[in-house]
Chains A and B, each alone.
Chain A
Amino acid sequence: MIETPEPDLRRQAQPPSMTGSVATRVLGSIGLAAAAVMAILALWISPADAVQGDAVRLMYVHVPSIWVAYGGFALTAFASMRVLWRTRGGIGGTEGVIADRQARHWDRVAGAAAELGVMFTALTLVTGSLWGKVTWGSYWQWDARLTTTVLLFVTYLGYLALRRLPTESRARARRSAVMALIAVVNLPIVHYSVDWWRTLHQEASLSLGPGGDRNYTGEMYWTLLYSWATFTVVALWIGMHRYRVLRLEELAEEAALEELLSVRRGEHSSEPSESDR
């Protein structure tokens, strides 16, 4: 995967967007158009529910939010495994340099995906509270699904805090990766909590696989799938930008360190030597 040495990027001209590319522009445009269509489908075309009325329309933002969050956390776990795998050896030699570069890549993927996961989990909690208020009469209940979801949110907030600890980048990446692999254990617990315990929260909206049961059909079903696709495109678009920002943060750290070192070198060279005294 890594074939060429890192080019000196600092000499290139400065454009208006530092993290944009053709891919992000295409994804951003698709995401924007898809969101507009989604709003029409979810708010006008999809019918109201026989029991919940128009409140069911919250499902088209609530459910895709947690699906995207699941995807983000699963990607964080996968990338973290790659980080641990690529940092298991020494840091010297050509192979060590390549492994280090790949580990940094996967570490950035893990960080960007986790941040998106946290944001979409927060949206799930907020939209769920609004939905709960009109259907259950309460913003919050210490129900198994809600409690495990808030635990998931707090755990990944901790993961993001761990990533910000000022320490050597390799050690930080490895520690974060271990935490991500511990945190992801909660993911199936959140998902299956509605089956494992008696909860106020309704069952899963869609069950995939053979014999899978659908709680929604027709326009509701397709609008839900379309909303999920829209959220996924938007998350990918933001994720690409976030990944590149993480790369820029690394470069900024390296530049600051380089500057500090050159100042120190300058101080040493300006000090009078023994022979001058």
Chain B
Amino acid sequence: MTYAASVFGGYALTALAIVAYAAWVIRRGRALGRDVGIGATAASPSSSRSDPGTGQ
């Protein structure tokens, strides 16, 4: 394996893994939100003081 191939592979895999994980998290949030019927304001930290972090 050449240096260039290993560097390219390392950066590509890192970017792919992070993007795929972030996309999975956001899609899961959307799916769950639709099921439960939660609004974006519910997920906003500024919307409520009742639950630190989520505003829920």
Contacts and interface: CB of A to CB of B under 8 A. Distances in A.
Interface residues of A, number: 64
A57 interface: yes
A123 B40 contact: no
B47 to A, nearest CB: 8
B6 A133 contact: yes
Contacts of A43: 7, 11
Nearest to B11: A61
B21 A238 contact: yes
A2 B37 contact: no
A170 interface: no
Contacts of B43: 17-21, 244, 247-248
Contact of B3 (A20, A39, A55, A243): A55
Interface in B5-25: 6-7, 9-11, 13-15, 17-18, 21-22, 25
Interface stretch (A124-132, A186-194, A197-205): A124-132
A81 interface: no
B13 A6 contact: no
A94 B45 CA distance: 23
Interface residues of B, number: 45
Q: DSSP majority for the B interface?
A: helix
B21 to A, nearest CB: 6
Contact of A12 (B2, B11, B13, B41): B41
A58 interface: yes
Interface stretch (A101-109, A160-168, A267-275): A101-109
Contacts of A127: 10, 13-14
Given A4-B49, A9-B42, A19-B43, A58 B54 contact: no
Contact of A247 (B15, B18, B40, B54): B54
A248 B44 contact: no
B34 A21 contact: no
Nearest to A127: B10
B8 to A, nearest CB: 9
A62 interface: yes
A23 interface: yes
B6 to A, nearest CB: 4
Contacts of A248: 29, 32-33, 36, 38, 43
Contact of A251 (B2, B11, B36, B48): B36
A119 B18 CA distance: 8
A272 to B, nearest CB: 35
B50 A6 contact: yes
A134 interface: yes
Contacts of A87: none
- The CB with the most chain B CB atoms within 10 A, among A55, A61, A119, A248, is that of A248
A105 to B, nearest CB: 5
Contacts of A234: 18
Nearest to A11: B37
Contacts of B10: 58, 61-62, 126-127, 130-131
5 contacts: A10-B38, A11-B37, A19-B26, A248-B43, A251-B32
**Would you list the 5 A-B pairs with minimal beta carbon distance, nearest first?**
A18-B33, A12-B39, A19-B29, A15-B40, A248-B32
